[in-house]
Amino acid sequence: MSAASTNSLFGMGNPLLDICAVVDKDFLDKYSLKPNDQILAEAKHKELFEELVKKFKVEYYAGGATQNSIKIAQWMIQEPHKVGTFFGCIGKDKFGEILKQKAEEVHVDAHYYEQDEEPTGTCAACITGDNRSLVANLAAANCYKKDKHLDLEENWKLVEKAKVYYIAGFFLTVSLESILKVAKHASENNKLFCMNLSAPFICQFFKDNLMQVMPYVDVLFGNETEAAAFAKEQDFDTKDIKEIVRKAQALPKDNKKRQRVVVITQGKDETVMAQSDKIETFPVVKTDPKYIVDTNGAGDAFVGGFLSELVQEKPLDQCVKAAHYAANVIIQRAGCSFPEKPDFK
């Protein structure tokens, strides 16, 4: 059994059913997709989902960034079950049922707000080589309501039980007030609130929302592309990753008892972390490219591995080690899936 207790890790975000397929460059060009990107679906992408299913061999996986990370953390921890709690909004439909079933299978304590105005959200993962272009149609995920779900006494009790909180930046487009309620609770009770930059568009177009939450962020995650977009929007005036993490760490913070930790991944290059007054780098686990199946869940898995140790109060370098291990396992499998048990020491 791990040192973690039930419901000690809380996540809230967009539960999506991932529709994954290996596509060709023509398909990306037709819908003006970059090979490696994350965007929200617009009207012009309506046919994309239909064409993807018709033209390519698709696989369905329970997804959504935050939900993936909570699942990976739970997998890394194994016992007890239901260390991870997850909140999000789904539709009353077949895809919603699949998401519920998948969460149960991996022992995550998912409490969905179910509504019937919008169908369960989907995310097209268009894979070319070791790149993946994600197009999210939030649908139901966009309907999460603080007053209809988070504020309910039995749900808020689950929030209060947690010690570590994680919300991907993607949820900033859905319910800022829900994020702020959780973030303030964490800050006032000296618990750990973690967030992810998630995508360049979050740093660019949801900058105000992001910066309203930033003072409460104890651990900030991101990759090199997101970090560059964030630095540009914040006028950091540098492209140097170490300089960016230092400046992100120094942004104003509400809870002065903890200094912010900033962790930036760079694909196969080293991970950079700012903790206390030092900047450290950690090499990633080397993988022969021929074993890389799908890099889609790598970032979510990294966070999941990190959180699995963080919630057990392990040192930060051990958190990074677990993060690298989880990401390495995930990229050698399709979808954000994993073997029955981890082999992490």
Task: Tell me the per-residue pLDDT of 218-265, one tens digit each, with 9 for 90 and over.
Answer: 999 999 999 999 999 999 999 999 999 999 999 999 999 999 999 999
Catalytic option among 130, 288, 300, 317: 300
Residue range 194-217: mean pLDDT, rounded: 97
Q: What pTM was computed for the model? A: 0.93
Q: Outline where DSSP puts E strands in the chain.
A: 9-12, 16-22, 37-40, 59-63, 84-91, 109-115, 121-128, 131-137, 164-168, 192-196, 219-223, 261-266, 269-275, 278-282
| Residue 1 pLDDT grade (very low, low, confident, very high; cuts 50, 70, 90) | low
Residues 81-135 have pLDDT tens digits of 999 999 999 999 999 999 999 899 999 999 999 999 999 999 999 999 878 899 9
Both tokens assigned to 161: 């039980």
Q: What is the pLDDT of residues 18-35, one digit of tens each?
A: 899 999 999 999 999 999
Q: What is the pLDDT of residue 303?
A: 98
- Name 136's bridge partners: 40, 123
Return all residues near 76 (Cβ < 8 A) that are at least 6 apart. 304, 305, 308, 309, 322, 326, 342, 344
Confidence of residue 295 (pLDDT cuts 50, 70, 90): confident
Which residues does residue 139 pair with via DSSP β-bridges, in sequence order?
Answer: none
Q: Using CA atoms, how far apart are residues 60 and 122, in angstroms rounded to an integer?
A: 10
Quick one: pLDDT at residue 335? 66
DSSP secondary structure of 58-84: -EEEEE-HHHHHHHHHHHHH-SSTT-E
Using alpha carbons only, what angle is made at residue 134 by residues 9 and 284, rounded to the nearest 5 degrees? 60
300 is catalytic: yes
Residue 334 pLDDT exceeds 80? no
Output the DSSP codes for 274-314: EETTEEEEEPPPP--GGG----TTHHHHHHHHHHHHHTTT-
Predicted confidence at residue 28, as pLDDT, reads 97
Confidence at 293, pLDDT banded by 50, 70, 90? confident
Question: Tokens representing 295?
Answer: 């890099």
